[in-house]
Chain A
Amino acid sequence: MKVYDGTQSTDDDQGTEPERIKVGIAEYKTTTDDAVLTTSGLGSCIGVGIYDDVSGAAGLVHVMLPTAEDIDDGNRAKFADTGVEALVEALEDAGASRASMRAKMAGGSDMLDFSESGSSIGARNAKQVRATLEEFDIPLVGEDVGGDHGRSLKLDAGTGDLVVKSANTESTTL
């Protein structure tokens, strides 16, 4: 069982599995413990994991659409541009430094893209994540994007490993 303030574990947890933190659609979460951040059901959505080995802070955001310019409903984590920005800020608040942050991303599938012209939402999401990371000078050190299948992710905050799992294939680690 978890203690609600999320900063410490009860006795039950000692020596067992690390804490799991679930990240929903259009949400981001950060941790400074060696927790595992998870998110599931990424289709054209993208999960972006950012970690900082120096401070031990890590975070994961699950974005749905490329940019907040089109429809702004005040939820920054819904969009690739503002979602990455919000996550970077939250990590800085948790003591991480932008200079030592590294990013990985997965998702952005082209599955069920019915648009006849232009690129898919998945591809546009990926493009926007890259652009925003570049603005912040955060290197993208691993990615698994595109294709026509869904993905679920696990970010190990301790190591920065991003495990990508699909319904019909073996999981891979970025």
Chain B
Amino acid sequence: MNVDIQSLGTFNQLAHEGAQQATQSMAQMTGIDASVDVTKITLVDREDVGEALVGQDFVGVQFDFEGVLEGDTVLAFDTDSADTMVDALIPGGSDDEAMARSGVEEVGNIMMSGFIDGWADYLEAAIEHSPPTYIEKSGREVLPETRHPDDHEQVFVFKSEIEWVGESVNFYIYMLPEYEAFAEVMTEHADTEGDAIPIDKLHTFNEMTTSGTQKAADNVEMMTGIPTEAEVSQISFAPITDVPKQIGTDTYVGTVVEFTGVPSGYLLVLFDEVSAINVAEAMMPIEMDGDELTDQHESAIEELGNIMTSGFVDGWANVLQTSVDHSPPRLVHDMGRSIMDPLAAQVGQHQEHAFIIDSRMKTDDIEFEAEIHALPNEQELRRALEDLDVERADETDADVEQIFE
């Protein structure tokens, strides 16, 4: 099954417009000014969906849909924004539990009907949805339960993040179509002669990323003695102007390289400041005074970034059976978005959309988390995927260990 870049772009746009329409319905009902910040389509392991939600409590509505597309969708407000919204709808409403609940249900229902109708219109086919179910849960539990609990499956997820103007709260729309039906719809809309990407190979690509990340994590462990695990690997697709938003506005420390070969692109290894200090000190022979990030910390990060990059890139090159070279690392210490911005601009000179590969590693021993992001050239990624033959992809699936030794 192939899916072309144009249709990925179209589906992403569709989800974005649906989220915008839903947000406007809410704005009209409540007078709250909100706007859709990011919409992206991601291929990710089902278990890893909803990482952004961890650690918060949510209320919202959930429903399933069927027809040309099947699946589940959820609209989740964190509890503070739900209160604000209900109070805007019915002054003082958030104090009355029943009223708060029906307010969320009402707004949720209207928002989500708009969202689904947009899809049905575009596909020129019927999509029916169930009545909304009110939910009140924390973290990832707010997402619908997987329909295939025993499978270790990768799924497409549409996620829109909606920002409330002037408030620090956000809410989310997740849409999780059933893989088969969605893949079929995408295939039907694909121009297989043109710039199509075989979607099954995107799975392999995710596995490659996981393995590359594990290799990078092993290198961290080797240098610091801290056991480090690869966590989430995903590949997302978004308009180039949304790429910098994939990283937060916090300050990060890390390294960036340009890699060349097929595909070429940019690779970022980023640590939040606390993680950077912790991991750098684990590499240093002496105790540091104070808790500031110093030049010594930065040079330790540079060294670590370099060795993590090598591990990651070697992992890719092994599976793709090509050589992937990279430039010496450049140390960065800046706001996350500003770091991604020039890279997106460079890629954006030739393409309107971009694939973004994200992975994460973590350790339980100290407060430490690292993110790896890759921004490959789209056409070259497509070529690399074309060259990745399916048999070899199967091998990778069966025995990743062997390939990444």
Chain B residues closer than 8 Å to A113, beta-carbon distance: 342, 346
Q: Is there an interface contact between B338 and A78, defined as CB atoms closer than 8 Å? A: no
Q: If the complex has contacts A20-B165, A71-B350, A168-B333, are A44 and B342 also in contact, measured as CB distance less than 8 A?
A: yes
Chain B residues closer than 8 Å to A3, beta-carbon distance: 31, 33
CB within 8 Å of B: which A23-79 residues: 24-26, 40-45, 64-65, 70-71, 73, 75, 78
A interface secondary structure, majority: loop
Q: Is there an interface contact between A168 and B334, defined as CB atoms closer than 8 Å? A: yes
Shortest CB-to-CB span from A163 to chain B, Å, is 15
Chain A residues closer than 8 Å to B245, beta-carbon distance: 24-25, 41
CB within 8 Å of A: which B31-46 residues: 31-33, 35, 37
Docked complex Cα distance between A43 and B249 (Å): 12
Shortest CB-to-CB span from B44 to chain A, Å, is 24
Q: How many residues of B are in contact with the other chain, CB < 8 A?
A: 44
Quick one: CB contact mask for B330-355 with A, threshold 8 Å, 1 for yes?
10111111111111111011111000
Docked complex Cα distance between A150 and B343 (Å): 13
**B88 within 8 Å of A (CB atoms):** yes
Chain B residues closer than 8 Å to A150, beta-carbon distance: 334-335, 337-339, 341
CB within 8 Å of B: which A1-32 residues: 1-4, 6, 19-22, 24-26
CB within 8 Å of A: which B216-259 residues: 240-242, 244-245, 249, 251, 256, 258
Q: Is there an interface contact between B335 and A40, defined as CB atoms closer than 8 Å? A: yes
Number of A-B contacts (CB under 8 A): 127
Q: Is there an interface contact between B344 and A112, defined as CB atoms closer than 8 Å? A: no
Q: Is there an interface contact between B32 and A43, defined as CB atoms closer than 8 Å? A: no
**A160 within 8 Å of B (CB atoms):** no
Query: Could you say which of A19, A40, A45 contacts B345, with CB atoms under 8 Å apart?
Result: A45
Shortest CB-to-CB span from B341 to chain A, Å, is 3
Q: Is there an interface contact between A4 and B31, defined as CB atoms closer than 8 Å? A: yes
Chain B residues closer than 8 Å to A44, beta-carbon distance: 341-342, 345-346
Chain A residues closer than 8 Å to B258, beta-carbon distance: 114
**A149 within 8 Å of B (CB atoms):** yes
Q: Is there an interface contact between A64 and B334, defined as CB atoms closer than 8 Å? A: no
Chain B residues closer than 8 Å to A121, beta-carbon distance: 342, 345-346, 349
Q: Is there an interface contact between B244 and A43, defined as CB atoms closer than 8 Å? A: yes
- Kindly list the 7 A-B residue pairs having the minimum CB-CB distance in the complex, ordered from nearest: A150-B338, A41-B337, A43-B341, A44-B342, A43-B342, A26-B241, A114-B258
With A41-B337, A112-B339, A150-B337 given, name 7 new contacts (CB 8 A): A19-B166, A21-B165, A40-B335, A41-B249, A41-B335, A44-B342, A112-B332
18 CB < 8 A contacts A-B: A1-B31, A22-B35, A24-B37, A40-B249, A41-B336, A43-B341, A43-B343, A44-B346, A64-B344, A65-B349, A111-B332, A113-B346, A120-B342, A149-B334, A149-B338, A150-B341, A167-B335, A168-B333
